[in-house]
Copies of this chain bind each other. A is one copy, B any other.
């Protein structure tokens, strides 16, 4: 197996090496022994890639991350930005109950970006994908004034039905797996110009989605699922709306980890707001029949409840409608 870290990185900027030099440099970084996996029938370098799909259907999701909106190059190293860009799409695949197989990536970048930035970002993409056994099979690069990364991921349901947002039933248990509020608290720390607590800053820079929990939830009979990218209340709101149920969360069910307590105290914030409305952690939230055994790592945090008006399915906390800031949305 080649060691990508040992490969030399061309010096200078994208303008110095040009489009095809950049493509060569990125392809070299992205090629790993895993690219010979059974999922990749034709890898990078042609008009398109070919990915095996054993089960008769393929899951696909796309996410674009924009400099200054989703990431800041002064707040996270290129490697972490690459991991985060891959995680956003890989978590969506997991949230359908699927196994991620392949990524394609479009990088739009100004000419004065350093080649080393782009290759380290590619290292991050590659390593995050490798966590779930997926590889980067293709991509595109373009000159732009603003840095952005568009990641599209493919997944294989392996014969399972996709777990959508629309299957929750009244009486279902609402359960979460993974960190909540950590990334938002990390962002609050960075926004104030600080670099610690490191655990929170790192949680923002490099989310740790519980990928295996997505498949485990599907196997355990989850009736609905999504990943928490915009904030728990906002994202279970999608399940509520699509399933035409209400969702009531119990605030006492949420453990408030020590670093969140400490920073919230210092900033005069209620840490529950980060937990309920903070985005970027890519936890999994799912609904399960009341009789189901919750998979390892899932914690029950609420219940699907009846609604009088299906068009106004809402999320409540301890029986009260949630009126706090409602998670991340663009153009607000």
Q: Which residues of B contact A98 (CB under 8 A)?
A: 48
Say whether A62 faces chain B, with CB atoms less than 8 Å apart. yes
Distance in Å: Cβ of A193 to nearest Cβ of chain B? 23
Say whether A50 faces chain B, with CB atoms less than 8 Å apart. yes
Q: Which residues of B contact A148 (CB under 8 A)?
A: 64, 108, 144, 146, 148
Distance in Å: Cβ of A27 to nearest Cβ of chain B? 13
Most B Cβ at <10 Å: residue of A52, A105, A140, A242? A140
Q: Which residues of B contact A199 (CB under 8 A)?
A: none
Say whether A46 faces chain B, with CB atoms less than 8 Å apart. yes
A48-70 contacts to B, CB under 8 A, are: 48-54, 56-66, 68-70
Q: Which residues of B contact A154 (CB under 8 A)?
A: 58, 60
Q: Are A152 and B63 in contact (CB under 8 A)?
A: no
What 0/1 readout, one digit per residue, does chain A (246-273) give for beta carbons within 8 Å of chain B? 0000000000000000000000000000
Q: Are B48 and A330 in contact (CB under 8 A)?
A: no
Q: Which residues of B contact A59 (CB under 8 A)?
A: 48-51
Q: Are A152 and B329 in contact (CB under 8 A)?
A: no
Say whether A142 faces chain B, with CB atoms less than 8 Å apart. yes
Docked complex Cα distance between A226 and B132 (Å) = 32
Q: Are A66 and B152 in contact (CB under 8 A)?
A: no
What 0/1 readout, one digit per residue, does chain A (4-42) give for beta carbons within 8 Å of chain B? 000000000011011110100000000000000000011
Q: Which residues of B contact A162 (CB under 8 A)?
A: 41-42, 46, 48, 50
Docked complex Cα distance between A332 and B52 (Å) = 36
What 0/1 readout, one digit per residue, does chain A (70-99) give for beta carbons within 8 Å of chain B? 100000000000000000000011011010
Q: Which of B48, B57, B142, B144 contacts A52 (CB 8 A)?
A: B57
Q: Which residues of B contact A137 (CB under 8 A)?
A: 60
Q: Are B108 and A66 in contact (CB under 8 A)?
A: yes
Q: Which residues of B contact A68 (CB under 8 A)?
A: 145
Q: Are B57 and A53 in contact (CB under 8 A)?
A: yes
Q: Are A50 and B58 in contact (CB under 8 A)?
A: yes
Q: Are A46 and B138 in contact (CB under 8 A)?
A: no
Q: Which residues of B contact A20 (CB under 8 A)?
A: 329
Q: Are B69 and A142 in contact (CB under 8 A)?
A: yes
Q: Which of B45, B104, B140, B330 contacts A19 (CB 8 A)?
A: B330
Q: Which residues of B contact A70 (CB under 8 A)?
A: 142
Say whether A317 faces chain B, with CB atoms less than 8 Å apart. no
Contact surface of A with B, Cβ cutoff 8 Å: 14-15, 17-20, 22, 41-42, 45-54, 56-66, 68-70, 92-93, 95-96, 98, 102, 104-108, 111, 137-146, 148, 150, 152-155, 157, 162, 164-166, 225-227, 242, 329-332
Residue contacts A-B, CB under 8 angstroms, 7 given: A18-B330, A48-B162, A50-B59, A60-B154, A106-B150, A141-B330, A143-B330
